[in-house]
């Protein structure tokens, strides 16, 4: 174990007994392997890589849906609707899939930052033409390597999916105001 950084009071920022781990080491290593070998999880031809991506989306679906259901229950009072949008052509020779979370206050809110309405919370999986492999993202943030070939791999993505969901919900709050979050707005009906 290496020495830990210490906070202002001299206490360790991380418990002394915890081993130091590199975040997402397996995913980053597999990502680097893909780049080095110009493949996606060892598959080189585009049709085969499309199949790897499609399987990754299938495996990841239950993880994303569970996280979005938790956001709905925790912040939207169960008023939300989670929808899975299957793998489809992205119009540019690549593939994409997404999961969305919409709710009444979001659908009717005006966007205070740009013309138009307020979009849903989105978790996207995309595999652009010319790329070696797929990625996981929100509508505007993040491009995490999508290294999923098993249920265990999919489960390992949960912290990333949670981060995407939080960024997405924060963006909807930024666009519409705090009133777009029903559980919070009900606590403060007069502002």
Q: How far apart (Å, rounded) are the C-alpha atoms in residues 185 and 67?
A: 22
**pLDDT reported for residue 138:** 96
Cβ 136 vs Cβ 156: under 8 Å: no
Residue 11's contacts (CB-CB under 8 Å, 6 or more residues apart) are none
Q: State yes or no: pLDDT of 1 exceeds 50.
A: no
**pLDDT reported for residue 15:** 52
**pLDDT reported for residue 2:** 45
**pLDDT reported for residue 117:** 92
Angle, CA of 185, 138 and 160, to the nearest 5°: 95
Q: How far apart (Å, rounded) are the C-alpha atoms in residues 147 and 31?
A: 7
Residue 190's H or E segment, with its range, is none
Q: State yes or no: pLDDT of 23 exceeds 80.
A: no
Nearest of 93, 96, 83 to residue 134 by alpha carbon: 96
The pTM of this model reads 0.86
- When pLDDT is cut at 50, 70 and 90, the band that residue 20 belongs to is low
Q: Measure CA of the first residue to CA of the last residue in the chain; give whole Å.
A: 50
Task: Give the DSSP letter of residue 157.
Answer: T
- When pLDDT is cut at 50, 70 and 90, the band that residue 56 belongs to is very high
Number of Cβ within a 10 Å radius of residue 107: 13
Cβ 184 vs Cβ 75: under 8 Å: yes
Q: How far apart (Å, rounded) are the C-alpha atoms in residues 139 and 128?
A: 15
- The chain-wide mean pLDDT, for the chain, equals 90
């Amino acid at each position: 174990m290496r020495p830990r950084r210490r906070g202002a009071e001299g206490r360790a920022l991380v418990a002394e007994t915890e081993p130091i781990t590199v975040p997402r080491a397996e995913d980053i290593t597999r990502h680097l392997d893909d780049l080095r070998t110009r493949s996606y999880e060892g598959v080189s031809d585009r049709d085969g890589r499309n199949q790897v991506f499609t399987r990754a989306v299938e495996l990841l679906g239950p993880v994303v849906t569970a996280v979005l259901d938790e956001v709905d229950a925790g912040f939207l009072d169960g008023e939300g609707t989670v929808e899975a949008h299957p793998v489809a052509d992205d119009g540019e020779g690549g593939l994409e899939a997404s999961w969305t979370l919409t709710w009444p206050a979001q659908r009717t809110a005006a966007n205070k930052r740009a013309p138009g309405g307020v979009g849903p919370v989105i978790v996207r999986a995309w595999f652009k033409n010319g790329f070696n492999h797929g990625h996981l993202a929100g509508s505007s943030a993040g491009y995490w390597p999508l290294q999923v070939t098993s249920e265990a791999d999919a489960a390992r993505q949960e912290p990333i999916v949670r981060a995407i969901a939080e960024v997405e919900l924060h963006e909807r709050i930024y666009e519409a105001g705090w009133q777009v979050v029903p559980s919070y707005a009900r606590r403060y009906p007069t502002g």
